[in-house]
Structure 1
C-alpha cells in the first residue's frame, strides 16, 4: 500500500467517553470539554469507550478504587469493598483490543482506577491510601495487549511536547497498520520505503535507534521476515517515543540542508547554518528553519525530501519548548 493510500483515512484513537461529552462518570456527569481534544479530533477519529459502564456499572454509581494486597491488585467499590471488578475490566479490554484492531492510539482518563495512565491512587484492604501509585486496570490491559500502541492521558496532552509526540506516534502507527492491513508480511523494500518517510524524524528523536534501524534494513532476513518487520516497527515506535532535543533536530536540519547544496548559494547555506545555530541556542523556534527549508524545496523540488514527515505541519511542535 502506498503512503498516499495510508494517509487517506484518519487514525482511529480510543478515548474515555467522559472526555468527549458522555455523561458516564460515577457522579453522573462528563468531564469538561477540552480544546486540546477538539484539536486532535481534526486529524483523528476519536472512538469513545467507557469500560465501567460497559461492564454493567450504573450512572451515577459508587466510586471504585484499586485495592492492592499480598494477593494482587483488585478493583472494588469504595463503600463496601466486597465486589471485585478487575477481571471484568480486563476482559472488556481484551474484547476492545480484538474489536478495534485499527486503533492507532488511546487517550486515557487522568486518575481513573479503570482508565488512568499513571499516578492512579491505590488503597489497602482497610481503605487507607498507599504510598505507591499505578495504572488503571483497564488501561494496563490495553497496553499489555499492544505494547507499541501510543497512549496518553487527557491531562498530559496539555503539554505541547507530549501532545506533539503523541500525534506523530499515532500517525506513524496508523500508517504501519494500513501497510499491514492486506495481511502479507512487508518486504524489505516496503520496510525501507516506509522508513524513508520517517528517517529524519527518527534522527531527531534518537540517533541510537536511527543507527539500529539502518543496520536492520541493510539486508533481508530471509529465514524470518516477520521477525524483521516486528523488530523494525518496535524500533521505530520506541525511537519516536524518545523526547526530541534541539541537538537532535539541529542534526536532522543539517542533513536535510545537504540536499540543497547544488541549488542554493554559498551565502544562503551560511545563512541557514546560522539559523540552525539560532534554533539550537533557543533564539528561534523549530518552525522558523523548517519553514525556510520548505520554501527552498518548493523552489527546488526533491521527491525524497517532499515525503519527509519531519517537514510536515502535524509533527512540528511550533508552540512547544523545543
Structure 2
C-alpha cells in the first residue's frame, strides 16, 4: 500500500494551538510515527464553531444520554449550536473518505468515552461522551475510532492500526466492484486475521459469503462490511493468536522436519508464556512461507497486516 490512510484527528494532537488555554496537546507518537502512514484531517469542534482561543473552559452536565455542553463559569449552554455544527461537519467529512478518527481524550467536545459528566450537584462521574465525538460515531458507526491516550497502550494501538489498514483494503475492494469474486478474494486473504480477532464472527462471515449467490450485491456487501468491522473491533488475545499460529503450522506438515516443527512449537509456547512477543513466531513462519513457497499463506494478511516499520507486533 503506497497511499497514506486518511484519518480524522483532533487538531490539538498535531500541535495546533487551539486548546482553551491557547496551548496544544502534541502527540509525537501519532504525528511523527503513525504519521508516516496516515494522512491526517484535523478537526477542532470548539474553534470551528467560532469560539476564541483562549476561552472559558467547557464541561458536560446532566444526563449521560442527553448531556449539555456548558461553559464552566458562566453556565452558558452551547449544546444546540455544537450539535448543529457537528451534524454539518460530519456531512462534510463524508467527502474526505476517512478510514478512522483519533479523538482527544477527556474533551467535552471530542472525548470518545469516560469524559467527566457533572450531575446537578456539581459532582463529576466518567460517563460522558464528547458532543462532536458522539455525533461522529453515530454518523460513521463502522469507522475505527480511538483516543490519543489509549494509543500508548501497545495492544490497543496494534488493534486500531490493524482496523485502519483492514478498512482501507475494504475500501479498495469496493472500488473494484461488488462482485462475488472480489468478496471471496477479500475474505480468503483475511481469513486468519479475522480468526485472530473473532472466530465466531468469521464463521458468520463465511456463511454469508457462501450464500452470496442468493443476495443482491449491495445487500451482500453491506452485511459483510458490518460483520467485518464488528469482528475487527474485538481484540485478539494470546489464546486466539496461538490458535492461528498452530493453524499456520498445519500447512507445513509435509514439509518441515521434526526439528523444525519442534522449533516452531517451542516459540509458540514461549509466546504463550510471555517470554517473546508475537513477532518472533510470526517471523519464523514467514521464513517457511517463503522457503517452501506456500501459495495460500503468501496471501494471508495475518502474516503482514500492517507495515513492519511500526513494530506493532514487537510489543504484543
User: With structure 2 as the length reference, what TM-score do the two structures score?
Assistant: 0.91
CA distance in 1, matches of 2:268, 2:125: 45
Deviation at 1:228, TM superposition (A): 2.0
- Residues 240-283 of structure 1, C-alpha deviation per residue, up to 9 Å, x if partnerless? 21121111111111222222233322331232223222222323
Count, aligned residues: 311
What residue number does 1:4 align with? none
1:64 counterpart = 2:58: yes
1:73 counterpart = 2:70: no
1:30 counterpart = 2:28: no
Residue in structure 2 matching 1:226, options 208, 211, 218: 218
Give 5+ residue unaligned stretches, structure 2.
Answer: none
CA distance in 2, matches of 1:106, 1:83: 26
Secondary structure at the residue paired with 1:104?
coil
CA distance in 1, matches of 2:181, 2:302: 21
1:14 counterpart = 2:8: yes
Q: Does structure 1 conserve the Cα–Cα contact (< 8 Å) formed by 2:46 and 2:109?
A: yes
The 1:162–1:132 alpha-carbon spacing in structure 2 relative to 1, beyond 3 Å, is closer
1:270 counterpart = 2:273: no
Between Structure 1 and Structure 2, which shows a larger proportion of helix residues? Answer: 2
Secondary structure at the residue paired with 2:128?
coil
CA distance in 1, matches of 2:88, 2:76: 25
- Residues 164-208 of structure 1, C-alpha deviation per residue, up to 9 Å, x if partnerless? 0000001111222233347x5x22221121122221111112111
Q: Which moved more, 1:100-109 or 1:266-275?
A: 266-275
Residue in structure 2 matching 1:51, options 27, 45, 51: 45
Report the aligned-residue RMSD.
Answer: 2.2
What residue number does 1:156 align with? 150
Q: Which moved more, 1:50-59 or 1:193-202?
A: 193-202
The 1:122–1:288 alpha-carbon spacing in structure 2 relative to 1, beyond 3 Å, is same
CA distance in 1, matches of 2:254, 2:64: 68
- Residues 93-144 of structure 1, C-alpha deviation per residue, up to 9 Å, x if partnerless? 3333333331111000011000001111112456x13435211010011000
Secondary structure at the residue paired with 2:206?
helix
What residue number does 2:199 align with? 207
What residue number does 1:110 align with? 105
CA distance in 2, matches of 1:77, 1:229: 44
What residue number does 1:237 align with? 229
Secondary structure at the residue paired with 1:318?
helix
Q: Which moved more, 1:107-116 or 1:171-180?
A: 171-180
Q: Which moved more, 1:156-165 or 1:39-48?
A: 39-48
User: With structure 1 as the length reference, what TM-score do the two structures score?
Assistant: 0.89
